[in-house]
Chain A
């Protein structure tokens, strides 16, 4: 009798532990995803300032600047699906990289204190976004491992948990930014 009760209690404790660990992992993923969102918003807030500062100096990149402005407007509209949002962010990252490279051609801009401060803040936000993406990938990997590995997979199936996708860098992004090609298009 006692043995049955002990076994019963142990089974319940294990089940609670598995259930809670899965919930914690899922929440970690959601939490880090929220951080990425917040950081992307910070980047969108910085963009108008950056564009208004560089516009006065950059003569040959006017179309690129207006394209960035349009993309920003689209991104903050909140009408995009998650996949579209990620794609847009990637494209934006690449274009901003191009702007930073093009700055080399404008010595006056490079000496502008306002721009230098913005550039530093931009670098910081970009690095924070990349850190948040790495954190997201780590959280998703821990979650996916739990969903696939025994014994948590049993609980995961019962709870209807599915595998999640990690952030992947597109082939386009893996290539170095080619400023010349970017401005010609």
Chain B
């Protein structure tokens, strides 16, 4: 695991020099964006002036140019940003990934595929709007991992009845688990027990779609999570007492809602985020350690799951 001090050293010695070039690029984009905004404001202003000047003029005189300006403006904005975002990702995100572990690969436009997402069994709703980016994959120590940002939504109805809700937004991690197993075990954030105590536990046991409720011995783990599985013994074989402690520690470290599942000898971890991850902030200088630190911490959190869950310990028959 890399420390913040090591990151600062890497930032000052290697990253900073390259970032200066990108910073010039960013300033140019801001300048172009400013021009664009000025043009849009002028066009809208002129239309508004005509509309107010002649009371007989149709309100569409202002409405149509405004919509056109917004569409063209949005398109130009995207065009201006495209090259910059690609440069930023290969210069900043990819290099931070390699700085943390040089055996890992990075693809800015790829993501964990939908079938893997569904294979985890964490989310029972199948999303019909699914996208993501920033895929990192490779082997760290003895463990093969893969993770990316995912935004999965479910849309139902049409017209005025159209409803859309987020199934999951955040980091989605898949890793090769260090023990063999054939069953499914899902660890979900516990809301029922937190709110209703013992009655909540009764409610959890009625959730027949998830399989059997597995009641574990660690009271702190039970306070944070509800575990469902297809086999009582194998669920405990996977969730050893030390792994339960590690999961609680990981949950506290992230301070976020986390979901885990163990299917087909693999571990799936979903960490909820509300912000978009690993994206450049155009109105903020690049020559500041703060955002770099944030990207590093988010990446380290995902790659660190291997250490946090002790996945490199290979003392069982699975090598």
Tell yes or no: A179 within 8 A of B by CB: no
Rounded to whole angstroms, the CA-CA distance of A35 and B183 in the bound complex is 15
User: What are the residues of chain B within 8 A of A138 when measuring CB–CB?
Assistant: 214-217, 232, 236
Is chain B's interface secondary structure helix, strand, loop, or mixed overall?
A: loop
Q: Known contacts A124-B179, A131-B233; can you find 6 more A-B pairs with CB under 8 A?
A: A120-B315, A124-B316, A134-B217, A134-B236, A138-B232, A139-B232
Q: Which of A121-161 contact B (CB under 8 A)?
A: 121, 123-124, 127-128, 130-132, 134-135, 137-139, 142
With contacts A124-B179, A127-B237 taken as known, whether A32 is within 8 angstroms of B315 at the C-beta atoms is no
- When the two chains form their complex, are residues B217 and A124 in contact, meaning their CB atoms are under 8 A apart? no
Is chain A's interface secondary structure helix, strand, loop, or mixed overall?
A: helix
- When the two chains form their complex, are residues B237 and A123 in contact, meaning their CB atoms are under 8 A apart? no
Q: Which residues of B contact A (CB under 8 A)?
A: 179-180, 214-217, 232-237, 240, 315-317, 319
Q: Which of A20-66 contact B (CB under 8 A)?
A: 28, 32, 35
Rounded to whole angstroms, the CA-CA distance of A78 and B280 in the bound complex is 69
Tell yes or no: A170 within 8 A of B by CB: no
Q: Which residue of chain B lies nearest to A121 when distances are taken between CB atoms in the complex?
A: B317
Q: Which residue of chain A lies nearest to B217 when distances are taken between CB atoms in the complex?
A: A134
Q: Which of B215, B216, B234, B317 contacts A120 (CB 8 A)?
A: B317
User: What are the residues of chain B within 8 A of A32 when measuring CB–CB?
Assistant: 232-233
Q: Which residues of A contact B (CB under 8 A)?
A: 28, 32, 35, 117, 119-121, 123-124, 127-128, 130-132, 134-135, 137-139, 142
Most central of B216, B236, B319 by chain A CB within 10 Å: B236
- When the two chains form their complex, are residues B215 and A142 in contact, meaning their CB atoms are under 8 A apart? yes
- When the two chains form their complex, are residues B316 and A127 in contact, meaning their CB atoms are under 8 A apart? yes
Rounded to whole angstroms, the CA-CA distance of A121 and B180 in the bound complex is 11
- When the two chains form their complex, are residues A127 and B317 in contact, meaning their CB atoms are under 8 A apart? no
User: What are the residues of chain B within 8 A of A128 when measuring CB–CB?
Assistant: 233, 237
Q: Which residue of chain A lies nearest to B316 when distances are taken between CB atoms in the complex?
A: A124
Q: Which residue of chain B lies nearest to A117 when distances are taken between CB atoms in the complex?
A: B317
Q: Which residue of chain A lies nearest to B181 when distances are taken between CB atoms in the complex?
A: A128
User: What are the residues of chain A within 8 A of B236 when measuring CB–CB?
Assistant: 131-132, 134-135, 138
- When the two chains form their complex, are residues A131 and B237 in contact, meaning their CB atoms are under 8 A apart? yes
With contacts A120-B317, A123-B315, A127-B316 taken as known, whether A135 is within 8 angstroms of B232 at the C-beta atoms is yes
User: What are the residues of chain A within 8 A of B215 when measuring CB–CB?
Assistant: 138, 142
Most central of B180, B233, B240 by chain A CB within 10 Å: B233
Can you pick out 30 interface pairs between chain A and chain B where the beta carbons lie within 8 Å of each other?
A: A28-B232, A35-B233, A120-B315, A120-B317, A120-B319, A121-B317, A124-B179, A124-B180, A124-B316, A124-B317, A127-B179, A127-B237, A127-B240, A127-B316, A128-B233, A131-B233, A131-B234, A131-B237, A131-B240, A132-B233, A132-B236, A134-B217, A135-B233, A135-B236, A137-B217, A138-B214, A138-B216, A138-B217, A138-B232, A142-B215
Rounded to whole angstroms, the CA-CA distance of A84 and B179 in the bound complex is 31
Rounded to whole angstroms, the CA-CA distance of A123 and B317 in the bound complex is 8
Rounded to whole angstroms, the CA-CA distance of A35 and B235 in the bound complex is 13
User: What are the residues of chain A within 8 A of B214 when measuring CB–CB?
Assistant: 138
Rounded to whole angstroms, the CA-CA distance of A135 and B232 in the bound complex is 6
